[in-house]
Structure 1
Amino acid sequence: MSSWILGLTGGIGAGKSAATNYFQSLNIDIVDADIVAREVVMPGTQGLNSIVAHFGDDILSADGTLDRTKLRSIIFDNKEHKAWLNALLHPIIRAQILTQLAQATSPYCILCAPLLFENGLERYCQKTLLIDVPLDVQIARTCNRDNVPQEQVKNIIAAQMSREDKCQKADYIVDNNRPLVDVHAELDHLHKKFLDASKAI
């Protein structure tokens, strides 16, 4: 088990995946909260069974998987449904994240979570790293990547902790609005720092 954990976060479109992919290429284990959130509602899981029991079979796609678009539209305007869903899934997701962190074998491991600070997951981490880009870059990248309107992206950003607050909370900040070679050089530098810190435990 890696006893030294780095919490990695960033707003939508900031480039978290590119950063975690780079750390992965350095043989660092990654626990991705977004992937865990999908795993706990796969067919046959208690998570999906509870959601179907609550919302009915209409919440399923033809192949028996969760229809995320439909679920999003249901909870978007309904605070009670959203609160019920969060109360169901957050403890399951947290437990699965902790299990995967305990199974990590690299010198240190990374917990990647877009809502790291919002959901209090930084308490499990020794240090935190924010992948950061300006707001207009976030919006442009996400619109291009997901082919969604600007308004939708702005709503997602508005629902997350502000960029300023994240910058204040993070131990390290990497500017991802520059050439990839520069970003990788800084990640390399941080990687060495994290390796040293993990050896000191």
Structure 2
Amino acid sequence: MTGEYSESGNRPALVVGLTGGIASGKTAVSDRFAALGAAVIDTDQLAREVVAPGTEGLAAVRERFGAAVIDARGELDRRALRERIFSDQAARRDLEAITHPRIRARVTQRLAEAEAPYAIVVVPLLVEAGWAESYDRILVVDAEPSKQRERLMARDHVDRAQADRALASQTQRERRLALADDVIVNDGTPDELDARVQTLHRQYLGMAGRAG
């Protein structure tokens, strides 16, 4: 795939979009790539930055959704906003129209600033947002639903029913895997995950060298 970021000037020679289902281990994988020297850009973090107090993004959210989604400290009340968009697809699209262009602009900026042979851009909702064509390769972190449920219950201190609802709200696993150029199956020990990441790291260094 040809990345849209190739026209933005200075950027790593290879840009990989990393995605996966909830509690599949995306952070565990991206942290390992960062430790090996890859530039890692987390769009969840950027999503918080673009609606931080004082930003035009937060002003646009307030204009569209009202003061009820702003808390007493002048910060975005994420729970109130989630309730507004949960069952309102038009509202969700309006929110995405505010946040997505700003997130993508920050990704472009961070890629231009990156000093690494390749970059990993972590996009949990890559499939849902339709961003697959933005990256040179797509890496999916995959795990069996039973493993995701177990991790989610431990991580978020929720019961099985709540975990299952969260899993059901995600894009179908098969749809993610169909878009993947590379897959890391995160179902083993930390040492096994280390080895799988290191194998891909060497592959990406080779690709970046040829592209550069």
TM-score, normalising length: structure 2: 0.88
Does 1:167 pair with 2:177?
yes
Deviation at 1:71, TM superposition (A): 0.7
Deviation at 1:187, TM superposition (A): 0.7
Deviation at 1:89, TM superposition (A): 1.5
Unpaired runs of 5+ residues, structure 1, are: none
Deviation at 1:132, TM superposition (A): 0.8
In structure 1, what is the Cα distance between the partners aligned to 2:111 and 2:131? 12
Identity %: 35
Equivalent residue for 1:60, pick from 61, 70, 79: 70
Unpaired runs of 5+ residues, structure 2, are: 1-10
Alignment match, 1:14? 24
Alignment match, 1:73? 83
Alignment match, 2:5? none
Alignment match, 2:187? 177
In structure 1, what is the Cα distance between the partners aligned to 2:165 and 2:88? 16
8 Å contact kept, 2:16–2:121? yes
Q: Which moved more, 1:190-199 or 1:95-104?
A: 95-104
Q: Which moved more, 1:15-24 or 1:75-84?
A: 75-84
Alignment match, 1:105? 115
Aligned CA distance change for structure 1 residues 178 and 28 (closer, same or farther; 3 Å): same
SS for the counterpart of 1:110 is: strand
**What is the aligned residue count?**
201
SS for the counterpart of 2:17 is: strand
Alignment match, 1:48? 58
Q: Which moved more, 1:122-131 or 1:31-40?
A: 122-131
| CA RMSD, Structure 1 to Structure 2 (Å) | 1.5
In structure 1, what is the Cα distance between the partners aligned to 2:86 and 2:128? 18
Does 1:28 pair with 2:38?
yes
In structure 1, what is the Cα distance between the partners aligned to 2:124 and 2:104? 14
Does 1:196 pair with 2:203?
no
